[in-house]
Amino acid sequence: MQTQLVNITSEALAQAGALIRSGELVAFPTETVYGLGANALDAAAVKRIFEAKGRPGDNPLIVHISHLDQLAPLIAVKPSPMARALMDACWPGPMTLIFPKSEAVPMAVTAGLDTVAVRFPAHPAARALIDAARRPIAAPSANRSGRPSPTTAQHVLEDMDGRIPLILDGGACDVGLESTVIDVTGDIPRILRPGGVTPERIAAICGGVRVDDAVMRPLREGEKPRSPGMKYRHYAPRGQLTIVQGESDAVTQRINELYDAAIERGQSPLILALDPHLPAYAPRRALSLGPDAAGMAHALFNALRDADALGADVLFSEAVPADGVGLAVMNRLGRAAAFHIIEV
C-alpha cells in the first residue's frame, strides 16, 4: 500500500472522510499526539487499527467526537454531575472519560470491556475529520505498538509507511503527551493515565480526585489493571533508559559518572536533560528536554525517537517533580525506563 502524506485542505479532509466511511484508516493530528483513526461503529474497520499498529487485542481504543450530541448514542447511562462538570470545564481538550458503553459501540473498540473511552479533541483538523466522516472515530496513538507516540506527521510516516493510505499533516502537536484518561463510573474521578489535564485541575473541578496507584509503578505479577494500557511497556526507546532523580547538582554528577562508565564499557550513551542543565554535561552527548515540565511533555517523545536515530544504546534522563503536568511526564518517562529510577 502507498501511504500519502498531505497538508490539511478541504479536499484532503473530504478524501479522508470518504476513506473513514469506506472502512479505511487515516492518521490525523490532535492537540496531544497523532491518532490512527477508523469508523468507531464499524468493527471490521477497527480491527484494521490493531493490525496496522501490531496492538494487542485486549487494549481498548478511545472514541473521538466533534460535537457533544455524539456522546449519548455511545454511552449506556447519562453522564453523572461529576462527568458533566469535567466535560463543561475541559472539553474540547486533552481529556478522555470512561463511561458504561451502549450497544452501538462494537466490542472490537472496547476490547470486550463494558465501558467506553470518549474524547472530544480541541484540534480543528481532528474535529474537521470527524465532521467530514460524519461518524465518531476510534483512534489510538498512531505509532507501532511499543514505540513512542508520534508528535509529528514524520513520526507517523516512520511507523506506518505502507500500512495505511493517508496521513494528514498538521505540524507538531501542542501538548506532546496523550490525553488524561479519567474513569468517571465511580463516586470520585479516578485518573488511569495522567496527561495535560492535571490532578490539581480535576480536584478543583470535582472537589476530589484519585490517581490510580498503578500510574507510578510497574504492575505486579498477575495484577489486572483498571486500564489495560498499563500492562504494556510503552514509549520505549531502543536503548536502555535510566532515570536519575534528586537534587540538581547530585543528579548531574551521577549522570556524568554513569555516562563515563558506559563509554569505558564501549557503549554509546546519551543524556536527556533540561535546558538550564545542559552546560553541566559538556562535552558529553546530550539532548534537550526543554525548559521545564511542560516543555518536557512537548519534547519527550521526540527526544526518545531522536535517541534511536542517534543509535544510543544507554540513556540517562533527568526527572521533574511529579506534580501538575510533571505527573504525566514522569508516568511516560517511568514506563519508557521500565521504572528503572536511581535516587541520589
List residues binding ligand TXA (CB under 6 A): 30, 32-33, 35, 59-62, 96, 98, 110, 113, 115-117, 119, 139-141, 178-179, 181, 192-193, 227-229
CA angle 85, 86, 91 (to 5 degrees): 120
Q: Which does 119 bind (CB under 5 to 8 A by kind): ligand TXA, Mg ion, none?
A: ligand TXA
Name the minimum Å distance from CB 275 to ligand TXA.
25
Nearest to 71 by CA among 107, 114, 104: 104
Nearest to 197 by CA among 215, 173, 181, 184: 181
Alpha-carbon distance of 284 to 183, in angstroms, equals 43
Cβ nearer to ligand TXA, comparing 15 with 227: 227
Please name the residue that has the C-alpha cell 542517534.
310
Pairing of strands 269-273, 314-318: parallel
Alpha-carbon distance of 99 to 307, in angstroms, equals 38
Cβ nearer to ligand TXA, comparing 61 with 262: 61
- Between helix 81-90 and helix 199-206 the angle, nearest 10°, is 130
Name the minimum Å distance from CB 192 to Mg ion.
13
Q: Which does 269 bind (CB under 5 to 8 A by kind): ligand TXA, Mg ion, none?
A: none
Q: Is the dihedral of CA 147, 148, 149, 152 positive or negative?
A: negative
Alpha-carbon distance of 8 to 177, in angstroms, equals 22
Confirm or reject binding of residue 227 to Mg ion (CB under 5 A).
no
Name the minimum Å distance from CB 254 to ligand TXA.
32
Cβ nearer to ligand TXA, comparing 73 with 276: 73
Name the minimum Å distance from CB 79 to ligand TXA.
15
Q: Does residue 89 sit in helix, strand or coil?
A: helix
Alpha-carbon distance of 338 to 274, in angstroms, equals 21
Q: Which does 139 bind (CB under 5 to 8 A by kind): Mg ion, ligand TXA, none?
A: ligand TXA
Cβ nearer to ligand TXA, comparing 17 with 140: 140
Residue, CB closest to ligand TXA: 229
Name the minimum Å distance from CB 91 to ligand TXA.
13
Specify the DSSP class assigned to residue 6: E
Cβ nearer to Mg ion, comparing 132 with 304: 304
Cell of 50: 490493531
Binding mask 119-158 for Mg ion (x = CB under 5 A): ----------------------x-----------------
Cβ nearer to ligand TXA, comparing 227 with 245: 227
Name the minimum Å distance from CB 4 to Mg ion.
23
Q: How far is CA 76 from the centre of its chain?
A: 26
Cβ nearer to ligand TXA, comparing 179 with 317: 179
Confirm or reject binding of residue 32 to Mg ion (CB under 5 A).
no
Alpha-carbon distance of 118 to 95, in angstroms, equals 9
Pairing of strands 180-183, 95-100: parallel
Interface with Mg ion (CB under 5 A): 141
